[in-house]
Amino acid sequence: QSTINKIAAGEVVERPASIVKELVENSIDAGAADIAVEIREGGTSLIRVTDNGEGIPSGEVPSAFLRHATSKISRIEDLEEALSLGFRGEALASIAAVSILEIITKTPEALTGVRYGLEGGAERFREEIGCPAGTTLLVGDLFFNVPARKKFLKSPATEASYVSDAVTRLALAHPGVGFKFINNGQTRFQTPGNGKLQDAVFAVFGKDTASKLLPVRGEKEGMRITGFVGKPETARGNRSYEYYHVNGRSVRSKVVQRALEDAFKTKLPLHKYPFSVFQLELDPGRVDVNVHPTKMEVRFKDDHAVYTLVHQSVSTALLGASL
């Protein structure tokens, strides 16, 4: 059992950034308005995610760490239609299997909360405690029992930059949620969670970028794009500033990337890539997000329609800029 968990964990738990993503997605699923992510040493010695969501009822805490123990499947009538971010019920079990983990959680109705600890997936303690409503997950000593995986991690600074990128993507995908990111005790950014994408961009990238945004807006065959691209002078030397989300998930898509870059083609020198942050919304049945366990890559049923919508909307935005 524990070996199976350790092997399976490799799929969801690749590095600190993938753990942070799973934990934050759980917080979002729990309806949190505010989420704080704190890491130390790139997340290898500590990852702490705190939310003010619905919490877990005391009696259900241990079972949340069992493989395929999701509370979400039963609420979903058709998996393909699932808009909930996580529905495979294996993130917590996988993370617990390869770390020293502690959860503190309380539902709004409960008088007291629960503090529950596991080591390599095995229960270590469980006690009642006083705490605010919501959930805190502490992941310590990642891969302490899987030395081969630990060796595969990069330097703390590099792992921290992956975590920062993951939190940035999540914050931009959910401007209605307030995100705070703390690295080695220092607050790196804090978004207001007021639902305004431009304010989230300001909080993460600063005034210079936020003041050079062009609104992108378009609709076609039931698909919608909303967000911003940066004026050509905000272009960067690599693609890591091409942010886009599909139905609330930060993803990668060759089609979206090509449409975005093609629209900028005549505006940017070679090897410069646009700054963008936009949201694509379409019928969940028209997009497949399950092509990889980490859910990064998406496939569209109709690539051509997606390309056209993104390309036209971004081109129109750029046209406005040169007037």
Q: Which residues bind ligand ADP (CB under 6 A)?
A: 22, 26-27, 30, 51, 53-56, 64, 69-72, 86-93, 135
Q: State whether residue 122 is helix, strand or coil.
A: strand
Are 242 and 274 in contact by the 8 Å Cβ rule? The answer is yes
Which residue's CB is nearer to Mg ion, number 86 or number 175?
Answer: 86
Which residue's CB is nearer to Mg ion, number 26 or number 136?
Answer: 26
Least separation in angstroms between residue 309's CB and ligand ADP is 30
The partner in contact with residue 30, picked from Mg ion, ligand ADP, none with C-beta cut-offs of 5 to 8 angstroms by kind, is: ligand ADP
Q: How many CB atoms lie within 10 A of CB 285?
A: 10
Which residue's CB is nearer to ligand ADP, number 30 or number 160?
Answer: 30
Which residue's CB is nearer to Mg ion, number 56 or number 91?
Answer: 91
Q: How many CB atoms lie within 10 A of CB 82?
A: 18
Q: CA 30 → CA 55, 56, 84, 271, distances in Å?
A: 7, 9, 10, 41
The partner in contact with residue 27, picked from ligand ADP, Mg ion, none with C-beta cut-offs of 5 to 8 angstroms by kind, is: ligand ADP
DSSP 131: -
The partner in contact with residue 261, picked from Mg ion, ligand ADP, none with C-beta cut-offs of 5 to 8 angstroms by kind, is: none
Least separation in angstroms between residue 153's CB and ligand ADP is 22
Which residue's CB is nearer to ligand ADP, number 105 or number 234?
Answer: 105
| Cα–Cα distance measured from residue 37 to residue 22, given in angstroms and rounded to the nearest whole number | 12
Residue with tokens 């406005």, as numbered in its chain: 320
The string of DSSP codes covering 144-173 is: TT-HHHHHHS--HHHHHHHHHHHHHHHHHH
The partner in contact with residue 90, picked from Mg ion, ligand ADP, none with C-beta cut-offs of 5 to 8 angstroms by kind, is: ligand ADP
Least separation in angstroms between residue 294's CB and ligand ADP is 13
| Cα–Cα distance measured from residue 87 to residue 82, given in angstroms and rounded to the nearest whole number | 8
Residue 40: name the closest of 167, 141, 180 by CA.
Answer: 141
| Cα–Cα distance measured from residue 318 to residue 65, given in angstroms and rounded to the nearest whole number | 48
- 25, 26, 29, 35 alpha-carbon torsion, rounded to 10°: -70
Which residue's CB is nearer to ligand ADP, number 43 or number 53?
Answer: 53
Least separation in angstroms between residue 33's CB and ligand ADP is 13
The partner in contact with residue 182, picked from Mg ion, ligand ADP, none with C-beta cut-offs of 5 to 8 angstroms by kind, is: none
Are 55 and 105 in contact by the 8 Å Cβ rule? The answer is yes
Residues that bind Mg ion (CB under 5 A): 26, 86, 91
The partner in contact with residue 231, picked from Mg ion, ligand ADP, none with C-beta cut-offs of 5 to 8 angstroms by kind, is: none
Least separation in angstroms between residue 264's CB and ligand ADP is 36
The partner in contact with residue 168, picked from ligand ADP, Mg ion, none with C-beta cut-offs of 5 to 8 angstroms by kind, is: none
Pairing of strands 276-281, 223-230: antiparallel
Q: State whether residue 18 is helix, strand or coil.
A: helix
Which residue's CB is nearer to Mg ion, number 24 or number 260?
Answer: 24
Least separation in angstroms between residue 40's CB and ligand ADP is 20
Least separation in angstroms between residue 33's CB and Mg ion is 18
